[in-house]
Amino acid sequence: MKSQWIPGNQFTLLENGEAFFPAVFDAIAQAKREVLLETFILFEDKVGWALHEAVLAAAHRGVQVRMLVDGFGSPNLSAKFTGELAAAGVRLRAFDPQRPLLGFRLNVFRRMHRKIVVVDAERAFVGGINYSADHLLDFGPHAKQDYAVEVHGPLVSEIHRFTRAAINEPSGPRRWFARRPPLAQAAQPAAGGAQAIFVTRDNHAHRDDIERHYRVAIRAARKRVIIANAYFFPGYRLLRELRRAARRGVEVTLVLQGEPDMPIVKTGAELLHNHLQRAGVKIYEYCQRPFHGKVALTDDEWATVGSSNLDPLSLSLNLEANVIIRDRGFNQQLSERLEKLICDSCKEVATTASAQPSLWQIVRNAFVFHVLRRFPYWAGWLPAHTPVVVEVAAAPAEPATERTTERQACEHGV
Mean residue pLDDT across the chain: 85
Q: Is 113 a catalytic residue?
A: yes
Q: Does residue 356 register a pLDDT over 90?
A: no
Identified catalytic residue from 45, 208, 299, 300: 299
**Given 120, 208, 261, 300, the catalytic residue:** 120
The confidence score (pLDDT) of residue 172 equals: 35
pLDDT digits (tens, 9 = 90+) for 201-233: 988 889 899 999 999 999 999 999 999 999 998
120 is catalytic: yes
- The single residue of 144, 213, 294, 412 carrying the catalytic annotation is 294
**Cβ burial, residue 389 (10 Å; 0-12/13-18/19+):** buried
Name which of 199, 203, 175 is nearest 317 in CA terms: 203
Q: Which of 113, 144, 160, 213 is catalytic?
A: 113
CA angle 116, 121, 126 (to 5 degrees): 20
Cα distance between the two ends of the chain: 23
pLDDT in tens, 360-382: 767 766 776 676 666 656 655 65
- Rounded to two decimals, what is the model's pTM? 0.87
pLDDT band at 134 (very low <50, low <70, confident <90, very high): very high
Q: Which stretches within 184-326 are classed as H helix? A: 209-220, 236-247, 263-277, 312-316
Closest CA to 409 of 159, 212, 173, 198: 173
DSSP 8-state symbol, 144: P
Please identify which of the residues 144, 160, 213, 292 carries the catalytic annotation.
292
Residue 281 or 391, more confident: 281
Q: Quick one: average pLDDT of 271-298?
A: 94
CATH code for the domain defined by 209-376: 3.30.870.10
Is 292 a catalytic site residue? yes
Q: What is the pLDDT averaged over residues 343-350?
A: 95
Looking at domain 6-204+385-405, its CATH class is alpha beta
Does 115 qualify as catalytic in the annotation? yes
Does position 355 have pLDDT exceeding 90, yes or no? no
**Bridge partners for 195 per DSSP:** 326
Report yes or no: 208 and 279 within 8 Å, Cβ to Cβ.
no
Per-domain residue ranges of the chain: 6-204+385-405, 209-376
Question: Please, which residues have CB within 8 angstroms of residue 220's CB and are 6 or more apart in sequence?
Answer: 298, 299, 302
Spatial distance between the Cα atoms of 392 and 305, rounded to a whole number of angstroms: 30
